Structure 1
Amino acid sequence: MQDNLKNLHTNSYHSFRKYLDEVYYVHAKTPVIPLSLGYPISKVFPLPNQVLEKLNPFEKNGTEKIRPGYGWEAGSQPLRETILKFENTRHSTHYTLENICMTAGGSYGINRVMEHLFCQMKSDKNEVLIVAPTFYRMLNRFEEYAIVKNYFTQRINLFQPTVRDLEKLDLSRTRAIFICNPTNPGYNYVHKKNLQDLIEFLNKKKIYLIIDEVGDNFFHSVYFRYPKHIQSKYVIRICSSSKAYQLAEYRLGYIIADSHFIGTKTNGFVKLIGDDMGNPPLAANDAWQYILESETEWISEGRINSRNEYQKATKTNEINARNKCNLVIESLQKSYYVTDIIIPDASFNVTFQWKSKRIFSDFEFFKQLLQSKHVSLVPCSGFGFDAKQNYMRLTFAVPDDVLQKGLLNILEFLDEIN
């Protein structure tokens, strides 16, 4: 895999676009079982009424709520203060308002981080290393800011980077390394000791570690907390409300980094956001603030007893997600033709590998499954896998009857192509 990395980001991006074009075309003509969405179908993991009420633009008496209008370049201060309390409670960090800036979602945040790091902060280092597999769909603009290099990690390490991996590479021109935590499409958290070693290693080389945390949601095992080294001068974290709190349509996210990187309205990342869009979105800020206040209270009590409606709904949703995940794994394990299953730590996707005597690439598998069984999966060549490795990503955040029908069709299809 490491022999063909020069254009991995470009090839993977186009593979993912090809998948999107195909599934949209077929879906326009016939109903499709959508196990490729990468996002929960509405009401599968329902939001509590308290959140929905805050999203409602009208008061209970039918009058219009006061709308925020324009705001701060760094985003709503009350929301930022709530985020900081949440982050510091969860990870035992000591972030302040100088460490955070709101953005218009995760993908926008990623591109602005790259722009600021490579175009505005002067350095003789002009390379970014993307750790694969990853969601290349959102990284297509990296080449506008830097020379892109790729490194494909090993299955034995759950596709997580290690210091041993990086020591083999020429990092002399590397300004930043990009990873997902949890990984994508496997959704495994980077081991804490591994992550701590990576941060220490990169700090010594003054290389930034950019962490995309968009998949940090719906925990299947232990609630994830970072090691103490996460609050580092050379760590930039990208967070979003899209998947964790199902607020994707509001495009809400934030960046947490060193105060020198974040800056103020007259310099740094905050100035870039202000110059680019005036201020980050203020819609749904009240809803997100309520969610994070509830999460913070819950975390401080060990996330055991659920007291308010949000905590109760979240606990129910996480159990539901865990049950769906187990159903997918148990169903796939029944097939002789499923050769590998990556057991996720979080989120609502399962990635698996298959074998066939008649089909020899993930895209051909996807296309024939879609056409014959009307089930859509994501071919993992869009994440950087070799198409002949035959990995697919399955999203289980759909109604139970839809999921069961989809799994039955997949198992039938595997039998038919062997």
Structure 2
Amino acid sequence: MPRISNKGVSMPESPIRKLVPFAEQAYKEGKTVYHLNIGQPDIKTPQVALDAVRVHSLDILAYTRSEGSEGYRIKIADYYAKNDIHVKHDDIIVTTGGSEALLFAFGTVMDVDDEVIIPEPFYANYNGFSTASGVKVVPVISKIEDNFALPPIEEFEKLITPKTKAILICNPGNPTGYLYSKEEIKKLARIVKKHDLFLIADEVYREFAYDGATHYSILQEEGLEDYAIIIDSVSKRYSMCGARIGCLVSKNKEVIKTALKFAQARLSPPTLAQIASEAALQTPQSYFDDVIIEYEERRNVLIEELNKIEGVQVGNPKGAFYCIAQLPIKNSDAFAQWLLESFHLNGETIMVAPAAGFYSTPGVGLNQIRIAYVLNVDSLRKAVHILKEALKVYKD
């Protein structure tokens, strides 16, 4: 029998999706499952985006340009200008979700065996993207005790080697909800310029900043034009996860020229999804204002209820819609599976994401879970109550 590639063998499973078969079995057994495991918002997609697809006048569903339609990219640039990020449409490549943008970024700036420094815990698929690209993740650990704040710059400098090509951050962060301050972005800017590295920022949760805070983009930082690459997506901003439209943005012309070759290799991003995403840019600010109020309430309820559970420690997110909770258990993978297979409270249970998959350091995060507060407040209260009761009876 032919052998599977070493790359395929080492490709990590998604900590978010690998428990799906157990959830499906729970459904078959008649259980209600509260999904805290995945960032699929229950917020309605803007009607203007859905209508654009419903009433399109296309006769042929044709390819668009590899970098995305020019009209859409011009409107994306206008959107960025409203957020004090000044780029041209030629600085933008439309991608099939933020995931493809990350793969293009990795392929553009790193070769096999090169290194990328990432503060962990981080979005679990960064592990997958690095494996697919043959790139080594070098983690710099942020801790729940510090609310996952950026580690001291000295910690980054200790890790830089001749193979280091980039630093990658997620701002606001998935899975921690950490929002980088302007001062922290400036510190990172200094270090990438000093060591001639790229700074890649996954900014897909830009709109979701709480407590009156504002998001500061790496492309707002003067002097970072040749170093900065933004990863973006419509998935969470407009609750359009199924559209699979994102983009890569950089003022570095060589980055865009090179990333375009990867884009050409996959031909073009999906046409109908671009139509919907272009229309979504007409979404009024009131939509986001209401969403922020809703998510802030959900966050407050979730953190308050989690803090009532003995032995649970939780970070306080300032953005996105996730948090990391540390539980009085030894192995959250086993616990998450047990919740679906063997536990219910009046026919109800929960699905969580084990947090070890959001680290690349072995043995870290084994007693943590990521919770996505994408459910309404009543459902969140029920879900946390189920967690509390489950911890009372669970045995490692």
What TM-score range do you get, normalising by the shorter chain? Answer: 0.7 to 0.9
1:139 maps to amino acid: N
CA shift at 1:81, angstroms? 1.0
Matches within 5 A, 1:9-408: 13=13, 18-31=18-31, 32-40=33-41, 44-56=42-54, 58=55, 69-90=62-83, 92-119=84-111, 126-155=114-143, 156=146, 158-221=148-211, 222-226=213-217, 227-229=220-222, 231-264=224-257, 268-274=258-264, 276-294=265-283, 310-338=284-312, 340-355=313-328, 359-370=329-340, 371-373=342-344, 374-384=349-359, 386=363, 390-408=367-385
Shift of 1:15: 5.3
Cα 1:235–1:48, aligned 2, differ >3 Å: closer, same or farther?
closer
- By how many angstroms is 1:131 displaced? 3.0
Q: Is the 8 A contact 2:227 2:252 kept in 1?
A: no
Counterpart residue identity of residue 215, structure 2: F
Read off the aligned partner of 2:393 and give its amino acid letter: E
1:157 CA drift (Å): 6.1
Maintained 8 Å contact 2:79/2:281: yes
Shift of 1:161: 4.4
Matched residue of 1:168: which SS?
A: helix
Contact 2:140–2:156 (8 Å) recurs in 1: no
Could you tell me which amino acid in structure 2 is paired with residue 182 of structure 1? P
* Contact 1:185/1:393, CA 8 A, preserved across alignment: yes
User: Which has the larger displacement, 19-28 or 99-108?
Assistant: 19-28
CA deviation string 1:99-147 (max 9, x = no partner)? 111111111121122222235xxxx983233332112335324234344
Give 1:281 shift.
Answer: 2.1
Shift of 1:260: 2.3
Which secondary structure does the structure 2 equivalent of 1:284 belong to? helix
CA contact (8 A) 2:204 2:237 kept: yes
- Counterpart contact for 2:178–2:318, Cα < 8 Å: yes
Instruction: Note the C-alpha offset of 1:193.
Output: 1.0
Count residues with an aligned counterpart: 375
Q: What's the CA shift for 1:163? A: 1.8
AA in 1 matched with 2:120: A
Aligned-residue offset at 1:352: 1.3
CA distance in structure 1 between the partners assigned to 2:169 and 2:290 by the alignment: 30
Contact 2:179–2:209 (Cα < 8 Å) also in 1: no
SS class of match (1:283): helix
Compared CA separation, residues 273 and 48, structure 1 to 2 (3 A): closer
Q: Counterparts of 1:99 and 1:347 in 2: how far apart (Å)?
A: 25
Q: Distance in 2 between matches of 1:99 and 1:20?
A: 38
1:37 alignment partner AA = I
Label 1:35 to 1:293 Cα distance change in 2 as closer, same or farther (>3 A): same
Cα pair 1:127 1:146 within 8 Å, conserved = no
Cα offset, 1:186, TM superposition: 0.5
Please list the CA deviations of residues 278-336 of structure 1 after superposition, one character each: whole Å capped at 9, or x if unmatched.
22222233432343344xxxxxxxxxxxxxxx333332222122111111111112222
CA-CA distance at 1:387 after TM superposition: 5.6
Deviation at 1:256, TM superposition (A): 0.6
Q: In 1, are the aligned partners of 2:202 and 2:231 still within 8 Å (CA)?
A: yes
| 1:381, distance to aligned residue in structure 2 (A) | 0.7
Gapped regions of structure 2 (runs ≥ 5): 1-9
Contact kept? 2:138, 2:159, Cα under 8 Å: no
Deviation string, structure 1 residues 191-214 (Cα, Å, up to 9, x no partner): 211111112211221111222223
Amino acid at match of 2:239: Q
One-letter amino acid matched to 1:311: Q
CA distance, structure 1, for counterparts of residue 391 and residue 309 of structure 2: 8
The alignment's TM-score, normalised by the length of structure 2, stands at: 0.84
User: Are the aligned partners of 1:16 and 1:137 in contact in 2 as well (CA < 8 Å)?
Assistant: no
Change in Cα spacing, 1:236 to 1:11, as seen in structure 2 (3 Å) is same
1-structure distance, mates of 2:152, 2:222: 16
Instruction: Please give the alpha-carbon distance, in whole angstroms, between the structure 2 residues aligned to 1:23 and 1:152.
Output: 33
- Specify the SS of the correspondent of 1:372: coil
Sort the Cα spacing of 1:232 and 1:25 in 2 relative to 1 into closer, same or farther, 3 A: farther
Distance in 2 of aligned mates of 1:54 and 1:230: 39
* 1:405 partner letter: K
Instruction: Give the fraction of aligned pairs with identical amino acids, expressed as a percent.
Output: 23
Q: Over aligned residue pairs, what C-alpha RMSD do you find? A: 2.9
Matched-pair contact (CA < 8 Å) for 1:199–1:229:
no
Instruction: Look up the equivalent residue of 2:194 and give its one-letter code.
Output: K
